[in-house]
A = this chain, B = another copy of it.
Amino acid sequence: MALGDAILACLTERPMTGYELAKTFDSSIGFFWKADHQQIYRELSKLRDRGYIQGREVVQSGKPNKLVYTLTPEGRTALRHWAARPSTPASTKDDLLVRLHALDSIDIEPLRADLMARLEHHRDRHANYERILKKRFPDGTAEGKLDLGNLLLLRLGARHEQMVADFCEEALEALSAMSGKATVVPLEDSKREGKG
């Protein structure tokens, strides 16, 4: 139960509804853990069944009533126990890397386009991290423990995006250099046989 623990971790900050959690998983914690609202609601049900969180219905007019979830002492304990177990290093699982592994069996042009898109993507994310860092930690230091964790995470995120962006650039350059001196070949699709 990894997503469940991520949700518990979020709820340590403040009580939230599923909807708010979904938005959180779209920004802050979502930078390193993706989950859509369906997953989150499903997991919330489980966590409630286990007594780790407690829902309080807030009646609203004009909108559907909402369920604000709060960590129970049991939930807090469960989170602590989970966090005390050794973590398992996750593997990357990035499509792009698999493609590079089979570089000589795939078409280069779409790969190039993909690399360019990814370059932009990772640059955007890097800029986003830097923006948040400057806003939340203008002097680069953290006060409390909670802040320290987030500062470290933001720095890691920024560096990671920077590194992947650099990688995309390098890969693009290497591809250009290679197609300059070797098997470019593309566009041989006008067959002499078919047209006439």
Contact = CB atoms under 8 A, between A and B. Distances in A.
B111 A83 contact: yes
Interface string A155-182: 1100110011001001100110010001
A79 interface: yes
Interface in A70-88: 76, 79-80, 83-88
A158 to B, nearest CB: 11
Contacts of A163: 156, 159-160, 163
A59 interface: no
Q: Could you say which interface size class chain A belongs to?
A: 35 or more
A102 B118 contact: no
A19 to B, nearest CB: 20
A149 B9 contact: no
Given A99-B83, A111-B83, A174-B148, A92 B90 contact: yes
Do most interface residues of chain A lie in helix, strand or loop, or is the interface mixed? helix
Given A100-B152, A145-B182, A118 B34 contact: no
3 tightest Cβ-Cβ pairs between the two chains A and B: A103-B149, A9-B102, A83-B106
26 contacts: A2-B93, A2-B95, A6-B98, A9-B102, A10-B101, A10-B102, A12-B105, A29-B98, A30-B91, A31-B92, A33-B91, A83-B102, A83-B107, A86-B117, A92-B160, A101-B150, A102-B149, A103-B145, A103-B148, A104-B146, A145-B178, A145-B182, A148-B178, A156-B163, A156-B164, A160-B160
